[in-house]
Chains A and B, each alone.
Chain A
Amino acid sequence: NAGVTQTPKFRVLKTGQSMTLLCAQDMNHEYMYWYRQDPGMGLRLIHYSVGEGTTAKGEVPDGYNVSRLKKQNFLLGLESAAPSQTSVYFCASNKGFGAFFGQGTRLTVV
Chain B
Amino acid sequence: KNQVEQSPQSLIILEGKNCTLQCNYTVSPFSNLRWYKQDTGRGPVSLTIMTFSENTKSNGRYTATLDADTKQSSLHITASQLSDSASYICVVSERYGGSQGNLIFGKGTKLSVKP
Binding site for B on A (CB under 8 A): 4, 31, 33, 42-43, 45, 48-50, 56, 58-59, 88, 90, 92, 94, 96-104, 106
Q: Is the CB of B105 within 8 A of A58?
A: no
Provided the pairs A42-B89, A99-B91 are in contact, do residues A94 and B103 lie with their beta carbons within 8 angstroms?
Answer: yes
With an 8 Å Cβ cutoff, the count of chain B residues facing the other chain is 23
- Highest count of chain A CB atoms <10 Å: which of B31, B36, B103: B103
In Å, the complex CA distance between A106 and B6 comes to: 26
- Identify the 6 closest CB pairs spanning chains A and B, nearest first: A48-B101, A101-B43, A98-B34, A42-B107, A103-B43, A101-B44
In Å, the complex CA distance between A38 and B22 comes to: 23
B93 contacts the other chain (Cβ, under 8 Å)? Answer: yes
Provided the pairs A43-B105, A50-B101 are in contact, do residues A98 and B43 lie with their beta carbons within 8 angstroms?
Answer: no
A-contact bits for B88-107, CB 8 A (1 contact / 0 none):
01010100010011110111
In Å, the complex CA distance between A5 and B91 comes to: 21
Is chain A's binding surface mostly helix, strand, loop or mixed?
strand
A selection of 17 A-B contacts at a CB cut-off of 8 Å is A31-B101, A31-B102, A33-B101, A42-B108, A43-B89, A45-B105, A49-B101, A50-B97, A92-B103, A94-B103, A97-B32, A97-B93, A98-B34, A98-B49, A99-B44, A102-B43, A104-B42
In Å, the complex CA distance between A31 and B31 comes to: 15
Which residues on A sit within 8 Å (CB–CB) of B43? 4, 90, 101-104
Q: How far is the CB of A90 from chain B (nearest CB, A)?
A: 5
Q: Is the CB of B31 within 8 A of A96?
A: yes
Q: Is the CB of A104 within 8 A of B101?
A: no
Residue among A48, A59, A88, A98 making CB contact with B32, cutoff 8 Å: A98
B45 contacts the other chain (Cβ, under 8 Å)? Answer: yes
Provided the pairs A42-B89, A102-B43 are in contact, do residues A94 and B102 lie with their beta carbons within 8 angstroms?
Answer: yes
